[in-house]
Amino acid sequence: MISPIVRKWTIYSLVTTAAAALICFLVSFFYFHDGHLPHYPQPSMGRIYESNNHGSKVYLTRSEHDLDLGLQILAVIAFVAAFLLNKKWRVSVDPLEGMTPRQLDNIRQGRPPFLG
């Protein structure tokens, strides 16, 4: 049995990893497209992998291409894993779930939910 704290930190770590991978991908993508890379293939330098940003094409090396692809895949896998584990473990739930109609009505009227 996995403790609730470990479950919570697993979900938070996966979401943080996914967000960091997405941010790193965006930073590298926009860095590659800021104008200092060639707009035509340069096979002698290994720049044969096309990256297209709304018609603005640049050519990357295999390692640059693999970095971008790996960051995208990591972000998707981490977000999906966090989503599926949260569905199973119910770490993050609706705070109003399980309340009676009277408690919900008290909240809507600005009163504490436990008042009669």
Residue with tokens 């996914």: 18
Report how far residue 16's alpha carbon sits from residue 28's, in angstroms, rounded to the nearest whole number. Answer: 18
- Residue ranges in the chain modelled with pLDDT below 70: 116
Structure tokens at 56: 């603005």
d(CA 99, CA 91): 18
Collapsing DSSP states into helix, strand and coil, what is residue 7? helix
pTM of the entire predicted model: 0.79
- pLDDT at res. 116: 62
- Segments making up each domain of the chain, as ranges: 4-108
Query: pLDDT of 73-86, one tens digit each?
Result: 999 999 999 999 99
CA 87 → CA 8, 68, 76, distances in Å?
12, 29, 17
What contacts 8, CB < 8 A, 6 or more positions away? 91
Q: What is the pLDDT of residue 1?
A: 82
